[in-house]
Amino acid sequence: MSIITDSTLQEFLDALAAGESTPGGGGAAALTGSQAAALLSMVLNFTVGRKKYADVEDEMRVVLACTEDLRTQLLSLVDRDAEAFGAVAACYTMPKTTDEEKTARTAAMQKAMKGAAEVPFVVAKKCLEVLQLAEPVGAKGNSTVVSDAATSAYLALAALNSGLLNVEINLKYIKDDSFNEEWAAKVAELRAAAADAYTTATAACSATLGVTV
């Protein structure tokens, strides 16, 4: 069963609060990122088709297609995160009586850990895309609802940082130095890009709203 598409919001929150491993922080980050994308879509839907914003109509329609795609992708990552953690959990049930079994179990665990690190990184990358789109929406979207674009930026950054935290936690348990070095560099690069995108997005929203975001 899909954690998200087959659940009501109340059911998802009940599952999140329960004493179970999934859904957890990774899934919550993906859902938050999806909400951030949805907020940008809302601002854009208040913008396209409005006479006042006719000069940015074509550009905003392109951005809207992107935010809607990101909303869908991030929502699907809630389930992918749970599946990745499930693969790790399954390794703990593998037999470890003989040396061969122990070797197989360790190899399976390491492979699953790498998968568990990659999914939240994808979440973070998608959230960076949301942050980058918050700038043109904040600058050119319907000014009466640009505060929602600012909220989107807040949520996207929080989700991105949560995703990267989950990547870093998984890297602690991966015994592959080259993999860890590569992914640590990716995390640092993404975090720096996010800081720039957040600054740009909030500045655009502040200029439109006339208040500091």
| Cα–Cα distance, 106 to 117 (Å, whole number) | 16
Is 120 within 8 Å of 164 (Cβ atoms)?
yes
**Domains and their CATH numbers in the chain:** 9-209 (1.20.120.680)
The per-residue pLDDT for 22 is 86
| Cα–Cα distance, 207 to 156 (Å, whole number) | 20
The per-residue pLDDT for 7 is 87
pLDDT tens-digit readout, 173-188: 999 999 999 999 999 9
Collapse the DSSP code of 71 into the 3-class scheme (helix H, G, I; strand E, B; otherwise coil) and give the result: helix
> What is this structure's pTM?
0.94
| Cα–Cα distance, 213 to 200 (Å, whole number) | 11
| Cα–Cα distance, 23 to 167 (Å, whole number) | 16
pLDDT averaged over 10-residue windows placed end to end, the chain, 213 residues: 79 92 92 98 98 97 98 96 91 93 94 94 98 98 98 98 96 95 97 98 98 96
The per-residue pLDDT for 4 is 73
